Amino acid sequence: MAAQEAFVSLVNHDGIAHIEFFHPASNSLPGHILHKLAETITIAGNDDSIKVIVLRSAGEKAFCAGASFDELIAIANKEDGLRFFSGFAHVINAMRLCPKFIIGRIHGKAVGGGVGLASATDYAIAVKDAAVKLSELAVGIGPFVVGPAVERKTGLAGFAQLAINASEWQSASWAQTCGLYTEVHDTNEAMDNAIHALALRLAGSSPEAMAEIKKVLWKGTEHWDTLLIERAGISGRLVLSEFTRNAINKFKGK
């Protein structure tokens, strides 16, 4: 059986757009997928036929394993590092600037950049097994690019817990208590029913009103266009260290 190829897709049905991404390595995010994801979110945001967006990933296991280890280990200089981590910045900023509400479907565990994606949705609905972990410090870098999005939802204390305790999973219940997840359901069926019901209601709501509410919800983030790129530069520098390269190779060998 041939291995499935990575993709990003957009399907619009009656004003509800499902943007889905996939990578065979636990839905990790290489550069071309990050680029396509940011581009697709922007396209959906500019499409008047789309009223609300559901962001999801394919498969039954992890929602998103974060950065691609293969691409991390291939980074050869600070410029390459900045370019790669800027991919996460572009996706988060695309979600921030999108005038449509983005509902997150978090069907499994989220790591690193995956936590950033969940945090950047406007309304994250998850299952009880969708634990979260910011593992970056464990490999010698840090959650610099996704940090502002996570902190915006969890507060500084919640972000600090995730960033410092980089080897421990925090439960979906913890994520809901901290504000990262809005709802947590026992099963995928219950989660999908809740997403569908909310998306239907939003699809029938005023697009102008929703766009204005979104501006209010994201007030104070206008400087992220530059902030997240600056943070990408920090990660791009740290990923070149011997510590990080050894740690990534160790993780890949497990």
Domain boundaries, the chain: 7-190
Structure tokens at 37: 């994801």
Largest CA distance in the chain: 53
Give the span between the Cα atoms of 15 and 48, in whole angstroms: 9
Q: Per residue in 58-98, pLDDT tens?
A: 999 999 999 998 899 999 999 999 999 999 999 999 999 99
Q: Per residue in 201-233, pLDDT tens?
A: 999 999 999 999 999 999 999 999 999 999 999
Which pLDDT score is estimated for 250? 81
Q: Per residue in 90-110, pLDDT tens?
A: 999 999 999 999 999 999 999
Contact 125, 183 (CB under 8 A): yes
Q: How many helices (H) and strands (E) does the chain have?
A: 10, 8
Q: Which residues pair with 16 in a beta bridge?
A: 13, 52
The topology under which CATH files domain 7-190 is: 2-enoyl-CoA Hydratase; Chain A, domain 1 (3.90.226)
Sole residue written with tokens 């998850």 = 126
